[in-house]
Amino acid sequence: MIEHVNHTRLKYELKNALVTANARTGRMFAEIPALNTGDKNYQINISHIYNPTLTTRFMRAIGGYWKLNLEQLLIQRQTPVGQRNIFEYFDESGIMHEFRFMGVIGNVFYYHDTSGLNLTLTMNGEGPGITNRVITDETGNRLEFDMSGRLTASISGENSAIRKTYT
């Protein structure tokens, strides 16, 4: 018998998958790589993700709770009239990160993530006049989203010439 004391997450590395399970809740997460290409930090990886906490926004033909890691969304949450917009970013694992209004400099609106990852969402304009939506991390990596909230580009913080474009 294997006993895990004070461990809430169990991690299993299978031949072609990484699986984690929460010992308290029983929640499972799995990542199954489908394609890996590139070198070092400049790789393109496509994986199947199983996450039972996925929102219905990801429900596709591949079945419930499964998505591709390339499916990343930035959506505006419905807020009461008079309150600042709140945005939700669903990352490659399907985990939601909330962005709250921080301030305006010129015509650029800044939002910060409440998860503590030091992500910043910037937008030129607000409402129907928004011209772009960009999430930046503290090393300068950028994720660009179209107006429907779909990820369109990933740009390296080390070399801006390295750009992954999603169509």
pLDDT 10s digits, 102-148: 999 988 999 999 989 999 999 987 666 666 899 999 999 999 999 88
pLDDT 10s digits, 3-19: 445 557 677 777 788 88
DSSP string, 73-141: EEEEEP--TTSPPEEEEE-TTS-EEEEEEEEEETTEEEEEETTSS--EEEEESSGGG---EEEE-TT--
Q: Supply the pTM of this predicted model.
A: 0.78
